[in-house]
Structure 1
Amino acid sequence: MLRLLALYTALSLGANPAAALDLSALKTGEMKKMVVYDQPLATPDLPFVDAEGGSHSLRDFRGQPVLLNFWATWCAPCRAEMPALDRAQADLGSRGLKVLTLATGRNPQAQIGRFFDQAGVVHLPRYQDEPRALARAMGVAGLPVSVLIDREGHEVARIIGEADWDSAEARAVLDALTRE
């Protein structure tokens, strides 16, 4: 685990030194717990799978702003925020936002599908990181964790714990991410 964290840190130090999207002024209300980076961090290019078993990586989404949410079917706060993430995708997808929900650890696709059906989630993909490779490489120690990724594929901010993605503060952050 420490070796992967060291690798992620090394990757982030080699990130493109372009100015990061400045989200600091938006750390109000619901978004106070958001960690905003002075410089964007590189994201690892590790595979994860979709509901049909197809392989993907964060590289596939370059050019789009991404809200990457690490979650699990057994995680109550993760389950609570999923409908708001679905609404964020529905509302901001036309502006280029891609909300990626990545079930990490043992979350069989059947369980993910049942949960999405029960919660009325229809706009989100059913991605899975069963070996937790991407989660470990990105230093995800608990769930949920939401990572904001700019169009160049760099992490610009993260939120540890549940967030109300329907709040005015969260929508302001997502608006800024899609405007960049």
Structure 2
Amino acid sequence: MALEDLDIGPSIMLRSLAFGLYGLAVTLATPAAALDPALLTGTMAKMQIDDPWRPSVETFAQADSTRGRLSDYAGDVVVLNFWATWCAPCRAEMPSLQALQDAMEDDGVEVVTVAFGRHNPMQMKRFWQDAGITSLPLHLDAGAELAKSMGVRGLPHTFILNRQGAVIAQLAGEADWAAPETMALLRAALAE
């Protein structure tokens, strides 16, 4: 049967074409999962690879009381870490996050730390001093809006965002962020 033999009006054909083009556009605009599960070894074995998604909230308070956005880091691979001053595993892993920042900052990896819930700024600074943190940001999610939008249920909780700002992986719990397997995982994310 030829196309001209079908009883399809021009508006139906245009609608079908529009839906087809929309589907193609969505497919092309959605980044593929960037991480190979074979990279999940050692301290990264607990990492969960996600189909790329964006949080519905992306703002947090910066140390200077202005609002920051996750989109401020577009173009970099972001290691987004939620922590709290009262969290012992957060204290244990924070030096490795500082080491990761020092090792991979020039490669396009940004470690973004966000304190979960209400915190006294002086306690946050003391936490940084005690843990030997020198260059990680002191951001705050006082109302936990960002954390809730991302599904944080315990601390520490760390997300990997690709260069386009989509979450591609997450790890609930403590990890060694300066371990060789972590660096390999982040290099793979940078290559996408």
How does the TM-score come out when normalised to structure 2? 0.82
Aligned counterpart in structure 2 of residue 119 of structure 1, from 131, 134, 139: 131
Aligned counterpart in structure 1 of residue 88 of structure 2, from 58, 76, 93: 76
Query: Aligned-pair distance for 1:126?
Result: 0.5
Q: Which runs of 5+ in 2 are unaligned?
A: 1-25
State how far apart, in whole Å, the 2-side matches of 1:80 and 1:153 are: 27
Report if aligned partners of 1:70, 1:146 keep a CA contact under 8 Å in 2: yes
Aligned counterpart in structure 2 of residue 21 of structure 1, from 34, 57, 65: 34
Compute the RMSD of aligned alpha carbons: 1.5
Other structure's SS at 2:184 match: helix
Query: Aligned-pair distance for 1:117?
Result: 1.2
Residue 176 (1) aligns with residue 152 (2): no
Q: Which runs of 5+ in 1 are unaligned?
A: 1-13
The equivalent residue for 1:104 is 116
**TM alignment of 1:23-102, pairs within 5 A:** 23-37=36-50, 39-102=51-114
Residue 160 (1) aligns with residue 168 (2): no
State how far apart, in whole Å, the 2-side matches of 1:106 and 1:45 are: 18
State how far apart, in whole Å, the 2-side matches of 1:173 and 1:46 are: 24
State how far apart, in whole Å, the 2-side matches of 1:104 and 1:146 are: 12
Aligned residues: 166
State how far apart, in whole Å, the 1-side matches of 2:62 and 2:176 are: 25
Query: Aligned-pair distance for 1:162?
Result: 0.3
The structure whose residues are more often helix, as a share, is: 2
One-letter amino acid of the counterpart of residue 83, structure 1: P
One-letter amino acid of the counterpart of residue 31, structure 1: M
State how far apart, in whole Å, the 1-side matches of 2:101 and 2:56 are: 23
Identity in percent: 42
Structure 1 runs (4+) deviating above 3 angstroms are none
Report if aligned partners of 2:39, 2:185 keep a CA contact under 8 Å in 1: yes
Flag the structure with larger Rg.
Answer: 2
